[in-house]
Structure 1
Amino acid sequence: MGNLMREGQLRLADGRLVAYLESGQPGQPLLLALHGWLDNAASFLPLAPHLDGVHLICVDLPGHGHSDHKSSSYVFIDWLDDLHQIIVAGGWQQITLLGHSLGALIVSAYAGVFPEKVTRVIMLEGLGPLSQPDDTVPEQIRRAILNRSRTRARANLGFASLEEAVAARCKVADISPEAAQLICERQLVSRAARLHWRSDPRLRDLSPLRMSEGQARVLMAAIPCPVLFIQGEQGFPQLTAQWQARQGCFNDIQRQWVAGNHHFHMDNPVQTAIAIEKFCQIR
């Protein structure tokens, strides 16, 4: 499947390089895809062959895949700055944003901040920014600081084989071995006869502070364009309660189910593509 997509790079205004995979041609409607936490652009490889009539660009978010690492910690608001720099560097206007998991949180918030650049938003297994009650802030900051200390002390021994890395990925994520292998193949680099993650170890740091629910709702309410939320039938169960609480925040949102787990877009790409193409009015 990798041969169906072309490699590319963008240089951001701050000098960092962001890698991406693309299919389709410039001039077709642009679909800009953002992957989940600790995934990379390869998570959209199964989906790409089934999306017709679009210029699909799947980025490696900073710190992931083949993109440069950041010189600072990874906090949510900075993901919006990264996405804005990517869009500006690409010279893109009037785009459809597609995000999975972390990517879904990013695109939903970005569309509320820069609505003039976004024509549609598609969220896979994510429904608006994460939030936290005010009374949990002291403990969240404490846990984040202690977690950073553990990240700095963690040894990186690497893996003896791709199969070993895939097994490790499957232990910490709701993902099939076939899907994990695609992500691992792009996420690994060989050093001293061992395979090591390319991803920035600091991505594993806990966020020191999340938005309040009120702030998240204001961002969701600021999205004027149509929004599609696709949920996996065996995906994250908490998203059902979140849908009940948040669906009224959006001006124009529809919800669909697709068979599969949290990475249903990899294991069930045909049904995912049909839902996306119908929403984008290209099927």
Structure 2
Amino acid sequence: MDAGMREGQLQLANGRRVALLESGRTGQPLMLALHGWLDNGASFLPLAACLEGIHLICVDLPGHGLSDHKSSPYVFTDWLDDLHQIMAAGGWSDVTLLGHSLGALIASAYAGVFPEQVARLILLEGLGPLSQPDEEVPAQLRRAILNRSRTRERASSGFASLDEAVAARCKVADISPEAARLICERQLILRDGRLHWRSDARLRDLSPLRMSEGQARALMAAIRCPVLFVQGEQGFASLTAQWLARRDCFTQIHRESVAGNHHFHMDNPLQTAIVIEKFCHIR
């Protein structure tokens, strides 16, 4: 772990523990960072080293990293409840929410539901909740139920080394080995001489339902704070079409692009920090 980051944890109202990494100090502008699916708070370590004058708190979302697993399935709307509990446990309000990928989807929806708690919103490679046409609901439910059965039956033999785990992570995600190593170091546990994922296997379950596009647009339209949307130049191509379709939902939004792939904030943290600091009027 980077020497400038401190380990911490919160206990939620339901008793579960949420782990976090923290830099900066109380009194500086507070930025709460939410990572992507199957990542953890360590995905913000490179960016944290480039941000100055910010009290940065990077949480491990439930089921990820060092945080407790949930006893229930991971459903999108429940992420909003998790974040609400995290905000309450930390005693935070009027924060800048920074989200990457899944974290960006959670942050954008939360800012629409609780606009009074979010001063600024920074979305990296994500723009509002995922949606689907109504006619796709039966097929989505079928896939989700069958996928849950496969998750229950899936067994993992673990990895012989960190390098082996990093290679496996790189095969299933658009991520560099250096970035994958940071995430894997926090996401693995040694058991019976093998390294196993700490993350909850049920995170791989498919969502049984997604919002309609109308519902997603209503959430985005409810956001009242300034929004920064940042894409990787080699990131998810579908986000460009999504930007064109959804940009009119936001009352205040600015778009930037940064060289790099879906995890550009890890591989190109300096340029990412410059864009963020400009948006936040820091320096």
- Same fold by TM-score greater than 0.5: yes
Report the secondary structure of 1:203's partner residue: helix
- Where does residue 238 of structure 2 map in the other structure? 238
- Where does residue 32 of structure 1 map in the other structure? 32
Which whole-Å deviations, capped at 9, do the CAs of 1:192-222 have from their partners, x for residues lacking one?
A: 0000000000000000000000000000000
Between the two proteins, the alignment pairs up a number of residues equal to: 283
- Cα separation, 1, equivalents of 2:250 and 2:70: 32
- Where does residue 268 of structure 2 map in the other structure? 268
- Cα separation, 2, equivalents of 1:141 and 1:230: 32
Which whole-Å deviations, capped at 9, do the CAs of 1:25-78 have from their partners, x for residues lacking one?
A: 011110000000000000000000111111000000000000000000000000
Matched, 1:167 2:148: no
Matched, 1:187 2:152: no
- Cα separation, 1, equivalents of 2:225 and 2:57: 20
- Where does residue 109 of structure 1 map in the other structure? 109
- Where does residue 176 of structure 2 map in the other structure? 176
Matched, 1:136 2:144: no
Shift of 1:266: 0.1
| TM-score, normalising length: structure 2 | 0.99
Report the secondary structure of 2:151's partner residue: helix
Shift of 1:223: 0.3
Identity of counterpart residues, as a percentage? 80
Report the secondary structure of 1:10's partner residue: strand
- Cα separation, 2, equivalents of 1:107 and 1:174: 22
- Where does residue 85 of structure 1 map in the other structure? 85
- Where does residue 99 of structure 2 map in the other structure? 99
Structure 2, unmatched stretches of 5+, are none
- Where does residue 122 of structure 1 map in the other structure? 122
- Cα separation, 1, equivalents of 2:74 and 2:4: 31
- Where does residue 49 of structure 2 map in the other structure? 49
Shift of 1:156: 1.3
2:21 aligned partner, one-letter code: L
- Cα separation, 1, equivalents of 2:4 and 2:264: 20
Shift of 1:125: 0.2
- Where does residue 23 of structure 1 map in the other structure? 23
Report the secondary structure of 1:208's partner residue: coil
2:224 aligned partner, one-letter code: P
Report the secondary structure of 1:46's partner residue: helix
- Cα separation, 2, equivalents of 1:193 and 1:272: 39
Structure 1, unmatched stretches of 5+, are none
Report the secondary structure of 1:147's partner residue: helix
2:121 aligned partner, one-letter code: V
- Cα separation, 1, equivalents of 2:219 and 2:164: 41
- Where does residue 151 of structure 1 map in the other structure? 151
1:234 aligned partner, one-letter code: Q
- Where does residue 229 of structure 2 map in the other structure? 229
- Where does residue 199 of structure 2 map in the other structure? 199
Which whole-Å deviations, capped at 9, do the CAs of 1:65-113 have from their partners, x for residues lacking one?
A: 0000000000000000000000000001110000000000000000000
- Cα separation, 2, equivalents of 1:251 and 1:106: 19
Which whole-Å deviations, capped at 9, do the CAs of 1:163-205 have from their partners, x for residues lacking one?
A: 0000000000000000000000000000000000000000000
- Cα separation, 1, equivalents of 2:62 and 2:139: 28
Shift of 1:2: 1.8
- Where does residue 214 of structure 1 map in the other structure? 214
- Cα separation, 1, equivalents of 2:143 and 2:199: 22
- Cα separation, 1, equivalents of 2:136 and 2:94: 38
2:148 aligned partner, one-letter code: R
- Cα separation, 2, equivalents of 1:106 and 1:113: 11
Report the secondary structure of 1:45's partner residue: helix
